[in-house]
Amino acid sequence: MSSPSEDEFAAGALEFLQANAHPKVEITSGWGEGSDRVNLLVEKTKDEERAEVEAAKGWRRKVFDAGFGWITGPAEYGGRGLSSGHERRYQSLEAGFDVPSQSPFGIGLGMVAPTILAHATPKVRAAYLRALWRGDIVACQLFSEPGAGSDLAGLQTRAERDGDEWVINGQKVWTSGAQYSDIGEIICRTDPDAPKHKGLTGFVVDMHASGVEVRPLRQITGGSSFNEVFFTDVRVPDDHRLGDVNNGWAVALTTLMNERASIGGGGSGPSLVSTARLMELLRHMGRDHDPIARQRLADVYINAKVSSYTSQRALDRLKAGEPPGPEMSIAKLALTMNMRRVAELVSLVLGPKLIADGGEWGTYAWSELVVGMPGMRIAGGTDEIMRNIVGERVLGLPKEPGLSK
């Protein structure tokens, strides 16, 4: 059967969306109207979180069953095998409709699924890819550890071979969505005597398996969307291994590059706060004619524009079928630097009103964004690691000298 043209595909997608969702209605409000919350991570109660996951799954299944769930994926694993152009057309159309948030699938589809497709056994691909893209299961990423954050190769969680299984013991931390995930991608140390980059192996682990314990971490923002995860004698079949034994670093790099693509090209940071909203804040606080505040606002706008062009260039590479490149590290670094600019501008303009809730609309509410911002400097690789990657791999500068022992 021949593939539909992009126009034929778009016509079918629009018909599906019109039959199953309502068009978005643009709601405009002025200063002092509606909610004044400004945040990076929307903190939810357990009930709100559960409802969001179920709504996301329901919509994902409906979309997948209609043929729009994994547009570019291989047909053998549930995809339609169409071009990135078809996918862009669908995403553009869906953006005009009010549909449930798909954020619970961000990590699973943006990072874990591409790694499974690239490195897993045919059995694991068949077992999980269709289920992930249909929304039947959710996946998380199990990389960071208390003693090995951005230095991923320093991780100490062990996986020891026992016949046709591996036994995992150790701890992971800062795991987003672990509390509602069904599977996880985990990198473990399988050869403690090998150089630290050489003795790692990746696996797909059942998050409901005996010995897996998820504990929520309370954040400074008041929520607990991150977790620490403990593994005690957790058994994983060898056919759930990702790639070759002790070649887990290559597996991790696949995930990390997709992670930086997701974060660097996402909608966080300055794009979350419009220039108009910031200008309204300056007017409300009587700082709209202050040359320093105005210069800071211009700086935010200019840098956000420049970083958006870099992100678009990187995303165009992905859409053309090319692997994520080093520009994703630039985009991720630019994102956090721009978020810092926003936080500094807000702090300058609000002063004490940022840290003392006097009940005034649009003032103390900014504190949630400001205290959430430092976490984004860590997610997906710290700013310091990103600078090293850009310096060494993009600019060709000498490698950062290591610490002498």
DSSP H helices, 137-274, are 248-264
Give me the helices (H) in 110-215, please.
113-119, 122-134
Q: Distance (Å, rounded) from C-alpha 139 to C-alpha 257?
A: 17
Check if the beta carbon of residue 60 is closer than 8 Å to that of residue 105. yes
Nearest Cα to Cα of residue 239 among 139, 132, 126: 126
| Pairing outcome for strands 200-206 and 165-173 | unpaired
In single-letter form, the type of residue at position 324 comes to P
Distance CA 301, CA 130 (A): 41
Structural tokens at position 55: 């709504």
Question: In the block, which residue shows the tokens 């003392």?
Answer: 356
Phi, psi of 281 (to 5 degrees): -65, -45
Q: Are 132 and 139 in contact (CB under 8 A)?
A: yes
- Residue 54 catalytic? no
Q: Is the dihedral angle over the CA atoms 357, 360, 363, 369 positive or is it negative? A: positive
Nearest to 372 by CA among 117, 28, 42, 109: 42
Q: In a 3-state reduction of DSSP, which class is residue 308?
A: helix
Of residues 377, 378, 349, 369, the one with CA closest to residue 272: 369
Two tokens, residue 77: 């694993």
**DSSP character at residue 394:** I
Residue 352, classed as helix, strand or coil, is helix
Considering the candidates 52, 87, 185, 259, report the single residue annotated as catalytic: 259
Indicate the SS3 state at residue 341. helix
Burial (0-12, 13-18, 19+ Cβ within 10 Å), 379: buried
Integer Cα distance of 190 and 33 in angstroms: 56
Instruction: Give catalytic residue positions.
Output: 259
